[in-house]
Structure 1
Amino acid sequence: MSTPVATFPDQAITELAAELRELLGEKNVSTEQRVRERASVDGSTMSPIIAAQLPLGLADVVAFPTSAEQIGQVVAAAVRHGVPITPRGKGTGNYGQGIPMAGGLVLDLTRARAIVEVGDGSITAEAGAQMVVLEQAAWKAGQALWMYPSTAQSSIGGFLSGGSGGTGTIEHGSNDMGYVLALDVVHADGSPDLVHVEGDEAQRYVHNYGTAGIIARATVRLEPLRDWVGLYASFPTLPDALPVIRSVGRLQPPPRLVSADNPAISATLPPDDAIPAGRASLRAILSTDQVAEATALIEAAGGRVEALRDGQQTSMRISMLSYNHPIEWFQKSTPIPTFHVEVSGEALIDRIAEVEAVYPRGLLHIEAGHTVPIGMLAGEYISPEQVLEGIPRLNALGVGVHNPHQWNVDFAIERTIETAQRTDPNRLLNPGKLNVDYAGPRKGAVR
């Protein structure tokens, strides 16, 4: 059953836009077609299933608040006019979470980007602050983020609202495992006030696309900075590299990241002498005192170390070649439509040939995970039905699957619905993403 979306008269947009211009200034409010169109798309073209259904919505007005307090004021104004509100960070989400399906207001948070405080073990920033900027600030203080996404330019608000893991996941798990210390959120109840929440209460607003409240400011964990080094290695085939993914990922303390690709995927990554053509590529971010042990493991498995590079830019570069980014590079390289599903389990290592054979032209990108290997399995796209048919086959191999080609909240749904009933009584927050009678994805989506 689809979530009903709000309806509102055109006059409401006119009146809201006028009020927002008074509040934010002319340059921070737009009803221009090109601005509205740009604010109404995200990275969902990576999914051929969703791409076939675009456009899914168009903003009527776009607002650019420049502080956490202004975020609250904008939301309160939209609520007064009965206008739906879709929050937006950098638009790097891949699955339509930031598309304004009900039209209305797109709340672009990228200009509210102040770093408020770098403390001992924590950093506080406004929702629009980019993760790469937070990491830079942490390094200057001799610390590092517990975790940041593979798209390092994404915003902290967007990552917490839509993401789940990234660089640092091996040690710390996903962003619902203690990463978030506190949030200042805005409810759609007509009040402009920022509501401060901590601990378990803060988790109510994580990974639900702003459907229960909009994150305006966040405090997340830092850890002491280690002497990180980027290691590039290569192997004749991906199966040769898989035991190393497992063993390097289990080094103590855990590396920040370990990724590897099928040679067909490696060949499409940005040119780099450390990623030789025709070979499987393995990339890791680990402590300098672990290099010798990692090298021994790599060479014992028939691989070779291609390069060792240090510095924050190296960490970011390797991070940007993790999770679904290699699949995106592969998609760009081939005229054959390609999709991917998110997979997990020891079978990614122990039964790799069977896993890749589930889908036509199946190719695996794999990561060392917090508890089990995780990855992205790409395949030739024919139809949504083909995607669905492969999931039970993967499950039978012992592979966990999350199909990302849908835009519904599918994490802690009951908790989110219970929270939204209090915080969004008129169902104005990101309509179309939270199904109150959730029994699966919206019609036309695949899960």
Structure 2
Amino acid sequence: MTDTDYTALEAALVDLLGPRGVSSDLRQRERASVDGARMSPIIAELLPLGVADLVAFPTTAAEIAAVVAVAARFGAPITPRGKGTGNYGQAIPMAGGLVIDTSRARTVLGVDGDTITADAGAPMTALEQAARAAGKQLWMYPSTVHTTIGGFLAGGSGGTGTIAHGSNDMGFVVALDVATPVSDGALVHVEGDEAQRYVHNYGTAGIIARATVRVEDLQDWRGLYASFDDFRGALSVLRALGDLHPAPRLVSADTPHIAAQLPPDDAVPPGRSSLRMIADVRTVEEATALIEGAGGRIEDVREGPTVSAAISVLSYNHPIEWLQKSEPGVYFHVEVSGDALIDRIDEVHAVYPGGLLHIEAGHTVPIGMLAGVYESPEAVYAGIAALNELGVGVHNPHQWNVDFRLPQTVELARETDPRGLLNPGKLNPEYAGPTKGAIR
């Protein structure tokens, strides 16, 4: 990369976006240079990994493409950013340069049949609301419901609310409009398999400016809260609840210790294992029978348009985040999957000191987050190998390199970003870290 004249770049961006559309203020630059990396003690020990020289705030998909073109003309590193909540270093500008904060590009263009289209910064809640108004719902609904659609797709998330459809590699994305350093300010429209090439690659081959994703007919959801004397009780019904038809949007369970760290709620009683479920109203009676037949009790059944959001924010890595906040500096986690999470839970818990599992019913097998007391990176990696031996798939969140379709992304970036301007430091072809059995 060449040396960049950031004073001149800032002036050019002001001409494009206006004075409120770009900032060189240190506080703004620092705010735009952090993400969820502190959830990883391994990465947290290395912070700060980089600070932006400038931050741009485009408000439309077209402006995102125009900003990429201006930055490329100046030879500046370009790191895209949504809300920065779901990444572990992937949204940090390791080479400095320009951060493009896409969160102001919030337009939802609307529903068309079984799809919905929105600019990259539109929150998933806005897409869900627009879909609901048209009698539809998103195929999947993330644990961070205020995340942006662009960040959700470009980041590492597989999504919750995916029991019926699988991860966002399984047909959720219909089409994308992307901006690259070689597209000269134009949006490049890609569909199907071609669009999938830009998913999960952290903007290293192209920046998602607009997305078209699948919706389906709206269902009448209920938020079902249950509890058990112990975690084994919750585990005993998890697969059966996930197999109900119509499929739940989410089935999520925690040990009593993790449940005790969640926000206070009468439906999550202290000293008991908590199970939370977004269930189709047609299955509530059957779910109740399964839970009570396994010795559990129903704490509450809630309805209304906010029920999915309220339960989703207590899923995926969020219970572990509450655990880390309650006992700072103690816990780390890895993403896990497989039937061993139920069938060999004692062995799974024993892999790490203080092992605690958050579990969810997945599309094909249970998925979850395994927390343990942090000792060292070496202990984390040794535990990943031990989990693999137990038949547990593990995705390692304690690194920032693209680890999904890495060779294909490297090849794509040679075409779309030959100067390596996009999110430098995140696309290392030699990377071979401990990430066997990814859960996506």
Q: Normalised by the shorter chain, which TM-score bucket? A: over 0.9
Equivalent of 2:379, from 376, 386, 399? 386
CA contact (8 A) 1:148 1:165 kept: no
**1:364 to partner: Cα distance:** 0.3
Could you say which residue in structure 1 is the equivalent of 2:21?
Answer: 28
Residue 438 and residue 359 in structure 1: after superposition, are their counterparts in 2 closer, same or farther (change >3 A)? closer
Structure 1 segment 1-400 matched on structure 2, within 5 A: 6-9=1-4, 12-189=5-182, 191-400=184-393
**1:190 to partner: Cα distance:** 5.5
Higher relative contact order (CA 8 A, sep 6+): 1
- 1: CA distance between counterparts of 2:266 and 2:335? 29
2:342 aligned counterpart, secondary structure = helix
**1:437 to partner: Cα distance:** 3.2
- 1: CA distance between counterparts of 2:158 and 2:229? 29
Q: Read off the aligned partner of 2:409 and give its amino acid letter.
A: T
CA contact (8 A) 2:79 2:100 kept: yes
**1:94 to partner: Cα distance:** 3.4
1:125 aligned counterpart, secondary structure = strand
- 2: CA distance between counterparts of 1:144 and 1:432? 37
Q: Read off the aligned partner of 2:187 and give its amino acid letter.
A: L
- Structure 2: segments with no counterpart, 5+ residues: 435-440
Q: Read off the aligned partner of 1:233 and give its amino acid letter.
A: A
Equivalent of 1:428, from 421, 426, 439? 421
CA contact (8 A) 1:80 1:190 kept: no
2:164 aligned counterpart, secondary structure = helix
Q: Read off the aligned partner of 1:58 and give its amino acid letter.
A: V
CA contact (8 A) 2:86 2:157 kept: no
Could you say which residue in structure 1 is the equivalent of 2:438?
Answer: none
2:422 aligned counterpart, secondary structure = coil
**1:143 to partner: Cα distance:** 0.6
| 156-165 or 370-379, larger mean C-alpha shift | 156-165
Aligned length: 434
Q: Read off the aligned partner of 1:406 and give its amino acid letter.
A: Q
- Please give the TM-score of this superposition, normalised by the length of structure 1: 0.96
1:116 aligned counterpart, secondary structure = strand
- 1: CA distance between counterparts of 2:2 and 2:233? 56
- 1: CA distance between counterparts of 2:156 and 2:400? 13
- 2: CA distance between counterparts of 1:50 and 1:420? 25
- 2: CA distance between counterparts of 1:181 and 1:189? 23
CA contact (8 A) 1:147 1:165 kept: no
Deviation per CA, 1:82-131, whole angstroms, max 9, x where unpaired? 00000000111231110000000000001111011212211100000000
**1:188 to partner: Cα distance:** 1.2
CA contact (8 A) 1:42 1:93 kept: yes
- 1: CA distance between counterparts of 2:62 and 2:138? 25
